[in-house]
Amino acid sequence: MEIENNFARPVIVLSACLDGEPVRYNGEILHNDLVEKLKESAEIIKVCPEVSIGLGVPRDPIKIYLENERYRIYQSKTGIDLTEKMEKFSVGFLDGLKDVDGFLLKGQSPSCGFSGTKIYSNKNARDIVKKGTGLFAQIVKEKFPDKPIEDELRLRDSEIKKHFLTRIFAISEMKSLERKIHSINQLIEFHTRYKYLLMLYSQSKLTQLGKIVAGYKKGNLSSTVSDYSRVFYTAFERKPGVKKQVNVIQHIYGYFKTGLNQGEKRHFLNLLKKYSEGKAQYDIVLEMVRNFALRFSTQYLLFQRYLNPYPEQLND
């Protein structure tokens, strides 16, 4: 049995150089496989903050440094301080965004870097005080504290990538529901679909959201949806650990365990144990769960976002 798996299209702000735009300081062209795939399932808004403040290509590199606990950017070769220009552009650009679900930025950049950016002790220094976040990325974080923000370097870690994509697509689907909802049944269906994903991320938020749905009274659909979405948007902030994954899989196992023979049960539970001990990969366990759900036509499970939180091709 196939369950239709349509996803809302999230809106993602992207560092333009990650999509092959010729905007890098050294003219280098970058390609990123995930970005290529994301373009099929998401609306992409590209931005190059450095070109947007008038810097050309190629250009002398800029650096970010700390002065009186304030981050500033500076182009050493020309001696130009670009801090105010970058701040003004960033605030204007970000304020102008009508709709955004997340940010995918270029790591290590003094402007876009979400991680790994070298922060210098002063504008002429060669020594770094720490590694941190670029100036544009800092303003993104301040303005959108609840949105998923990542860079392509961190997304090389498959767990961080899964978490990022899960959040983005969940936020986008909630927003899409908010736009089109006309009956409480749609919210009930949505909540049902997210049950195990919510359980994975936050049992307390799952309970809270269940109470909001159960408390619906005729005539208060819009306030119910708004209460629901407010909590929902905060439910996916922390990346879940192995313990929580095992807990959810144990719950799901209850749906098909009676249909399995002793050998299959032993094999599955052994694999789950190995996963909990860090000796087996989560993807293998999840694939078995998907197979069992298909084999026993467990519609309720096949429908769950836990099994398909975002388009499959983004996993490859």
Q: How far is the CB of 269 from ligand SF4 (least distance, A)?
A: 47
Rank residues 27 and 241 by Cβ distance to ligand SF4 and give the closer one: 27
Is residue 16 a contact point for ligand SF4 (CB under 6 A)? Answer: yes
Q: How far is the CB of 43 from ligand SF4 (least distance, A)?
A: 18
Rank residues 29 and 188 by Cβ distance to ligand SF4 and give the closer one: 29
Rounded to whole angstroms, the Cα distance separating 249 from 282 reads: 10
Rounded to whole angstroms, the Cα distance separating 276 from 67 reads: 46
DSSP code at position 171: H
Is residue 111 a contact point for ligand SF4 (CB under 6 A)? Answer: yes
Q: Select from 112, 139, 149, 272 the one that contacts ligand SF4 (CB under 6 A).
A: 112
Rank residues 25 and 310 by Cβ distance to ligand SF4 and give the closer one: 25
Rounded (5°) CA angle 193-42-56: 150
Tokens matching residue 157: 């870690």
Residue nearest to ligand SF4 (CB): 17
- Written as one string, the DSSP assignment of 26-88 is T------HHHHHHHHHSEEEEE-HHHHTT--SS----EEEEETTEEEEEETTTTEE-HHHHHH
Q: How far is the CB of 167 from ligand SF4 (least distance, A)?
A: 22
Three-state secondary structure readout of 202-253: CHHHHHHHHHHHHCCCCCCHHHHHHHHHHHHHHCCCCCCCHHHHHHHHHHHH
Rounded to whole angstroms, the Cα distance separating 183 from 279 reads: 46
Rounded to whole angstroms, the Cα distance separating 249 from 286 reads: 8
Q: How far is the CB of 155 from ligand SF4 (least distance, A)?
A: 15
Question: Taking the CB of residue 294, how many other CB atoms lie within 10 A of it?
Answer: 15
Rank residues 59 and 162 by Cβ distance to ligand SF4 and give the closer one: 59
Q: How far is the CB of 46 from ligand SF4 (least distance, A)?
A: 8
Q: Select from 8, 12, 17, 249 the one that contacts ligand SF4 (CB under 6 A).
A: 17
Is residue 73 a contact point for ligand SF4 (CB under 6 A)? Answer: no
Q: How far is the CB of 15 from ligand SF4 (least distance, A)?
A: 4
Per CB under 6 A, contacts with ligand SF4 among 21-60 are 23-24, 48-51
Name the helix (H) or strand (E) containing 186: helix 184-193
Q: Select from 32, 90, 109, 166 the one that contacts ligand SF4 (CB under 6 A).
A: 109
Cα–Cα nearest to 111, from 169, 69, 48: 48
Q: Which stretch binds ligand SF4 (CB under 6 A): 10-18, 164-172, 221-229, 302-310?
A: 10-18
Number of chain residues interacting with ligand SF4 (CB under 6 A): 13
Rounded to whole angstroms, the Cα distance separating 192 from 249 reads: 17
Q: Which residues are at the interface with ligand SF4 (CB under 6 A)?
A: 15-17, 23-24, 48-51, 106, 109, 111-112
